[in-house]
Amino acid sequence: MSVRLIFIGLMVFLGFWYVAILLWLMNRLNKSSEYGISGEKSSKSGSGKMKISDLFFHILVIAIVFITVIKLMSFVGPAFASLGGMIVAIPVKALLNASGRKTNVILTLSGMALLFVYLCFWYILIGVPVKPPVMTVGGMKVTLSKTSVKDLLDNGFDIYIMNDENTYEYSEMLTSGSYTKYDENQDITVEKGYRSTGETLRGAPYLLAKDDTLIGAIDLYGSLDKDVDIKDAKVVNFYMDKDCKDALKSSNIDVKLGDLSLLSTFYTDDLKKLFKKKLWMIPDESDPTDSVYGIAWRTNSDSIFWNEYYAYIRIDENKNMRSFIISTSVAKDKH
């Protein structure tokens, strides 16, 4: 059975319960309130003017909700805007309809509490998409799973496509004939499905170069269920080794992961400041053979709904990069 459908079904079930409880609460308050949900005043009621304390309460609730939504939007991105607008509308509508009625205050608090619980379940089960990591390669911002081959070509990069699996030294890889430089007039497609070459330069299906300097190996992804023109395929994995690093330094081509230069010396404190909780693995100083930094951009749903990203930086005894790989775990359903 589809895991994705199970999660969606569970959230729909919880959503029905949320609406049912809210309707039940509205009915109970309507029966017990002097004014009722509709706000029609009984003949025994007062003027119905809103008290200063009620006005202050509504403004405070609106401010808290608005700030919370803004924070969530900055974390999740523009995709949260529609849901955020609906959340903010709840206390705003209550303020417009309040006129001092305690029923609306109780209903607003109850509705927001229930919505908060529902969103907590959503976050625990499904999570929210993470921002893809951004690399800077030769002055260009390359966003994993977003930057396409056409974007690279437009910025002066070259893509080399493997012809055979013969292995060559780094200095011969672009000239040996084992790889052919891609021409935009060629009709080439990227096969459906996700593939990862892993930590290897030789034998990689695609190489990335600029000004005849081999930068590293890349993997391309188009779609899980159909072939895609190579120009529209996205970069999902990137790998470079020490030979690439030495050549890039000689050619003055910098490569960064965020604000971290991959061609400089690595210090644990610097990585902790840059990546914070994303840095989940650091080198074991007592074991120089296990000198690896691990960085992860994870989601709660284990890439069932959203992409996840992982980076590994292997360093030598001088704390310089031996190899670097960053990869995408493409979101897909599980059975």
Q: In the numeric block, which tokens belong to residue 238? A: 């990137």
Q: What does the alpha-carbon distance between residue 136 and residue 143 come to, in Å, rounded to a whole number? A: 9
pLDDT of residue 182: 94
pLDDT above 60 (res 139): yes
Residue 183 lies in a domain: yes
pTM, rounded to two decimals: 0.73
Q: Do 75 and 164 fall into the same domain?
A: no
Of 72, 90, 125, the residue that ends a domain is: 125
Residue of higher predicted confidence among 48 and 136: 136
Amino acid, single-letter form, for residue 264:
S
Q: Specify which residues 148 forms β-bridges with.
A: 234
Whether residue 98 lies inside any domain: the answer is yes
149 and 121 together in one domain: no
Same domain, 70 and 195: no
∠ CA 139-142-143, nearest 5°, is 150
Does 284 share its domain with 190? Answer: yes
Per-residue pLDDT reduced to its tens digit, 151-200: 999 999 999 999 887 767 888 888 888 899 999 889 999 999 988 888 88
| Burial bucket for residue 252 (CB in 10 Å: 0-12, 13-18, 19+) | exposed
Does 247 fall in a domain? yes
Closest listed residue to residue 126, CA positions, set 302, 322, 247, 333: 302
Q: Are residues 29 and 99 in the same domain?
A: yes
Residue 192 lies in a domain: yes
Same domain, 56 and 186: no
Q: Dihedral angle at the C-alpha atoms of 50, 56, 60, 62, nearest 10 degrees?
A: 30
Q: What is the mean pLDDT of residues 227-249?
A: 95
Tell me how far apart the alpha carbons of residues 3 and 181 are, in angstroms, rounded to a whole number: 42
Query: What is d(CA 48, CA 293) in angstroms, rounded to the nearest whole number?
Result: 64
Task: Compute the distance between CA of residue 292 and CA of residue 257 in angstroms, rounded to an integer.
Answer: 15
- Answer whether residue 173 is part of any domain: yes
Boundary-marking domain end, from 83, 105, 125: 125
Residue 33: per-residue pLDDT: 54
39, 158: one domain: no
Closest CA relative to residue 107, chosen from 98, 116, 96? 98
Alpha-carbon torsion, ordered 84, 85, 88, 93, to 10 deg: -150
Q: Judge whether 315 and 282 are in contact, CB under 8 Å.
A: no
Same domain for 11 and 104, yes or no, is yes
Residue 335 falls inside a structural domain: no
Looking at the chain, the whole-number percentage of residues with pLDDT higher than 90 is: 43
Please say which residue of 60, 93, 125 terminates a domain. 125
pLDDT in the model for residue 1: 59
Please give the residue range of the domain that contains residue 252: 134-329
Same-domain status, 145 and 105: no
Element (H, E) at 104: helix 102-125
Angstrom distance (rounded) from CA 85 to CA 68: 12
Residue 334, in any domain of the structure: no
How many structural domains compose the chain? 2
Beta pairing class for 158-162 and 179-181:
antiparallel
Instruction: Tell which wins on pLDDT, 248 or 79.
Output: 248
Cβ atoms of 214 and 199 closer than 8 Å:
no
**Does residue 168 lie within any of the structural domains?**
yes
Check whether residue 199 and residue 85 sit in a common domain.
Answer: no
- Do 139 and 121 lie in one domain? The reply is no
Q: What is the mean pLDDT of residues 127-139?
A: 91
Q: Are residues 179 and 200 in the same domain?
A: yes
